[in-house]
A and B are shown apart, each in its own frame.
Chain A
Amino acid sequence: MANLNTQKPEITYPCEWTIKIIGSDKKAMSDIVDSVMKGRSFTVSDSNTSRTGKYISLKIKLTLVSAEEKQNIYTKFNAHKEIKFVL
């Protein structure tokens, strides 16, 4: 469980985690989510849309088993030019 408010914040794995990806092409983003999350249990849902409607975000909920797995997922999302930001 993630607890960042204590004096020595720690993240204990496995834990529930939410990753948000931001981009402009929803179809391409959905395909990338399926590709990166292949073999994992996760849920994906629509999140915010920018004021002009140019950018959308998708929220991915999953269970992480380690910090390495988290880094690996972030790195894979970063590699796609259709993904503008990963939060």
Chain B
Amino acid sequence: MKKVFVLFFASVILMSVSVIAAETPDVRQKAEPTTTAIPSANAETKQVADEVSVAAPSGKVLKNQAVDATAATPTPSEITSETMQKPTDKSTVAAADKPVEKAKDANIIHINSSEEFTKLVNNKAPVLIDFYADWSAPCDMINDVIIRISNKPDVKYKVAKMNIDMYHELAKEYEIKTLPTVIVFQNGKEVGRELGVQAESAYVSMLGTH
């Protein structure tokens, strides 16, 4: 009798435990959707922000459509490109209004080929050619003199410059060893040569006597 009572009592306890165990999963199922809903909302915000970033690279547009503060902030490169546009437009207008200045050495022929050199040497009118090198300081000293000679009004001669470092063969053929060397040619002949730095009058007299 005592055993029957113990078995009955034990079965009642087991039934109670099974009922409690059966109710617990329901609670968990309700809680789980809540926790997964938050990440999905974050992913959606990120996706919108990404789309806005691609569609509107300018910070100005993003201010009106601000979905995410990070996406709306323009990058330094965007700021630079936007602020640089307006001055460029103004400077273009200003450059168009400004008259084009003639270069100081506009009347000097810069020899660019041996054919051009030969053509000048055979010219009917006198041609003064300044043989120079960029590394020669004395050549710089006479540069303004040569420019002045080329800019004299109503002249019948031509003035040219030749960089000897670009035409070694011609420099050798005409025995250019002193820098600067200024030679006047006419009808294919050398009619005057000045070695080294000379006064303007020395160059002009070579042109004037032929």
Distance, CA A71 to CA B202, complexed state (A): 12
A67 contacts chain B at the CB level, 8 A cutoff: yes
A9 contacts chain B at the CB level, 8 A cutoff: yes
Count of interface residues, chain B, beta-carbon cutoff 8 Å: 20
The stretch from B22-30, B34-42, B102-110, B137-145 touching chain A is: B137-145
Docked-complex contact B178 and A67, CB < 8 angstroms: no
Interface of chain A: mostly helix, strand, loop or mixed: mixed
With contact pairs A74-B178, A78-B175, A87-B138 given, residues A11 and B198 touching in the complex (Cβ less than 8 Å): yes
Number of A-B contacts (CB under 8 A): 54
Distance, CA A74 to CA B179, complexed state (A): 10
Distance, CA A19 to CA B177, complexed state (A): 13
CB interface residues, B 142-180, toward A, < 8 Å: 142, 144-145, 175, 177-179
Distance, CA A86 to CA B194, complexed state (A): 13
Cβ of A35 to closest chain B Cβ, rounded Å? 17
CB interface residues, A 57-87, toward B, < 8 Å: 67, 70-71, 74-75, 77-78, 83-87
Chain A residues with Cβ below 8 Å from B201 are 8, 10
Find the residue from B138, B145, B177 having the highest chain A CB count within 10 A: B177
With contact pairs A10-B201, A67-B202, A70-B196 given, residues A4 and B141 touching in the complex (Cβ less than 8 Å): yes
Chain B residues with Cβ below 8 Å from A70 are 195-196
Docked-complex contact B195 and A78, CB < 8 angstroms: yes
CB interface residues, A 2-36, toward B, < 8 Å: 2, 4-5, 8-11, 19
Chain B residues with Cβ below 8 Å from A2 are 197
Distance, CA A78 to CA B177, complexed state (A): 6
Interface flags, B183-210, vs A, CB<8A=1, else 0: 0000000000011111111100000000
Docked-complex contact A74 and B196, CB < 8 angstroms: yes
Distance, CA A36 to CA B142, complexed state (A): 25
Docked-complex contact B178 and A85, CB < 8 angstroms: yes
Q: Which residue of A lies closest to B136 (CB)?
A: A87
With contact pairs A9-B200, A85-B177 given, residues A74 and B195 touching in the complex (Cβ less than 8 Å): yes
Q: Which residues of B contact A (CB under 8 A)?
A: 136-138, 141-142, 144-145, 175, 177-179, 194-202
Q: Identify the 6 closest CB pairs spanning chains A and B, nearest first.
A: A74-B195, A86-B178, A78-B177, A11-B199, A10-B199, A74-B178
